[in-house]
Amino acid sequence: METLGFGTEATQSKTWINVNNGKLTVRAQEGDEGAAVRKYKDKQGEEKEVHEFQFPSFAGIVTGAGFEETKWGLVFGVDLDAGDKSYQLRLNCPSRLFDQFVKRIPNISAEHPLLIGAFTNENGNNVLYLKQNGSKVPMAFTKDAPNGMPDAVKTVKLGKESWDFSAQEEFLYQLASSWMKGNVSAATADTPVPVLAGGEEPTEDSPF
């Protein structure tokens, strides 16, 4: 039986899981064994660095979800039970990662462990993929089969065309809100989990 948690032999006790540079990351302290250093620029353009543990995938039971207003903006958190530890996947809202997760909500079963993985596509964008029972969790809302999801609307402002995703963003927000209010139930933790091997490269079409 595969163990719940990250797709590696390493273990972590940190709670928050973020997605950075195609990896699932958990904040670490300087000097922690196995931690990597990631450099980034803040809003003022100053270079910063953060210490974090990086993983290709995570497996856990979905136990809840919710929105949190932070100083960085709205965050959607998905609570995950890995057996002896609890984690939370945190996704900015709105964002591509939020869209990729929420578009799969109707096909996510709370009765089975959920494997969450990340990688970067050919454009350098972060991409999430989900698996349950060894199979990909497909999107329930796509460009070809929107299933009630509003289309983006082309607008013109000062002679420049752009796309307005407001209605689509509201649709996904309401879907996520509905899911967290009653469609998530705890499942048993003794179900086998298909943990992705660290060297396996996933294949997943980029979201539209």
**How many CA atoms lie within 13 Å of 16's alpha carbon, on the beta-carbon side?**
12
pLDDT in the model for residue 182:
59
pLDDT range class, residue 85, cuts 50, 70, 90: confident
Closest among 55, 84, 52, 93 to 177, alpha carbons compared = 93
Backbone angles phi, psi at 135, to 5 degrees: -115, 150
pLDDT in the model for residue 6:
56
Residue-wise pLDDT for 41-75, tens only, equals 887 888 989 999 999 999 999 999 999 999 889 99
Rg (CA), the chain: 18
Omega within 30 of 0 (cis) for the link into 94: yes
pTM of the predicted protein model? 0.78
How far is it, in rounded angstroms, from Cα 184 to Cα 52?
A: 29
How far is it, in rounded angstroms, from Cα 96 to Cα 84?
A: 31
